[in-house]
Amino acid sequence: MPLSVSLSIEGDTTVIELDGELDAKTAPDFHQTIEKAAGHGTSTVEIRMAGVGYMASAGLRSLVFAQQKVGEHVTIKVVGAIEPVARTIRTAGLDRSIVLSDD
Amino acid sequence: MSAELEVPATLGALGDIAALVRRLAGSAGLGKGASYRIRLAVDELATNIVMHGYRGGDGRITVRGRSGPGRVRIRIEDHAPAFDPVQGRLPPEPHTAPERRRIGGLGIHLALTSVDEFDYVRRDGRNISTLTVMAEGTDPCPPLP
């Protein structure tokens, strides 16, 4: 299943919206968008994942990549992840540095 | 239900493997949680074979599956160099700075923590991993049909 990625700015937040499945094949599309988002210089990057039905460890790599790209002063939020996706993020310990939010 | 699939070891073939896993999970009557777990486990191991086993080079992956009521068992075979996933497992490193984390072994960790039973053997030049996932609430020792 393909992954669709969209990028927008809402005030001081850059929003990346993902729909589909995030795995080793589709993660590169997400990486390209992360590079663009990092160039915006907003204080928050919000990754909306309500439409992500499946995430493999490649998605974890993408989140680590996002942290590296945007730098320490930017907050990364993952919003709306379904429970199995959120569990994968917690299993990797990334919930200590990425804000996991329902809304 | 019984099913078998042989595919080239490419990222593009992972979708075919996922489709087979979905059919087996449906046939066994697994719920959403267990279906997700077996999908994740097989996907992580197959991805590992593609990326690290054959290192992106030529190779084949064979997937054989059987489903019974509330239970799916899947065997994954490849001819890549010997690799025991249990040895390759890498637990999370929550206290390590994000840029220093080794995410590679996490895929294997996710696979092994997603299944109810796991077995690995090296036989005749092949890596053979066998994964079993049961529906939530299933008796751990149901007989296979």
Q: Which helix (H) or strand (E) holds B6?
A: strand B2-8
pLDDT-above-70 percentage for chain B: 84
CA distance B17 to A45: 34
Say whether pLDDT at B28 is over 80.
yes
Q: Across-strand partners of B127?
A: B78, B122
Determine the angle formed by the axes of helices A83-91 and B32-48, rounding to 10 degrees: 50
Q: Please report the number of interchain residue pairs, chain A to chain B, with beta-carbon separation below 8 angstroms.
A: 63
Residues of B in Cβ contact (< 8 Å) with A84: 33, 36-37, 40
CA distance B95 to B89: 18
Say whether pLDDT at B145 is over 60.
no
Say whether pLDDT at B93 is over 70.
no
- Give the residue-averaged pLDDT of A15-34: 96
pLDDT band (50, 70, 90) for residue A103: confident
pLDDT-above-90 percentage for chain A: 89
Q: Between these two residues, B140 and A64, which has the higher pLDDT value? A: A64
- Give the residue-averaged pLDDT of A46-73: 94
pLDDT at res. B90: 65
The answer to whether the Cβ–Cβ distance between A91 and B33 falls below 8 Å is no
Say whether pLDDT at B94 is over 70.
no
- Give the residue-averaged pLDDT of B15-26: 97
ipTM of the complex: 0.91
Q: Match 């995410």 to its residue by tokens.
A: B103
The answer to whether the Cβ–Cβ distance between B39 and A97 falls below 8 Å is no
pLDDT at res. B43: 97
Alpha carbon of A7: minimum distance to chain B alpha carbons (Å) = 24
CA distance A91 to A85: 10
pLDDT band (50, 70, 90) for residue A23: very high
Distant-in-sequence, close-in-space partners of A47: CB < 8 Å, separation ≥ 6: A16, A18, A63, A66, A76, A77, A78, A79
The answer to whether the Cβ–Cβ distance between A67 and B106 falls below 8 Å is no
CA distance B63 to B68: 17
The answer to whether the Cβ–Cβ distance between A91 and B113 falls below 8 Å is yes
The answer to whether the Cβ–Cβ distance between B93 and A93 falls below 8 Å is yes
Amino acid letter for position A84: P
Say whether pLDDT at B144 is over 70.
no
**Per-chain mean pLDDT for chain B:** 89
Chain A interface, mutation test: which of B14, B40, B52, most A Cβ atoms within 10 Å? B40
DSSP conformation class of B143: P
Say whether pLDDT at B92 is over 80.
no
pLDDT at res. B10: 95
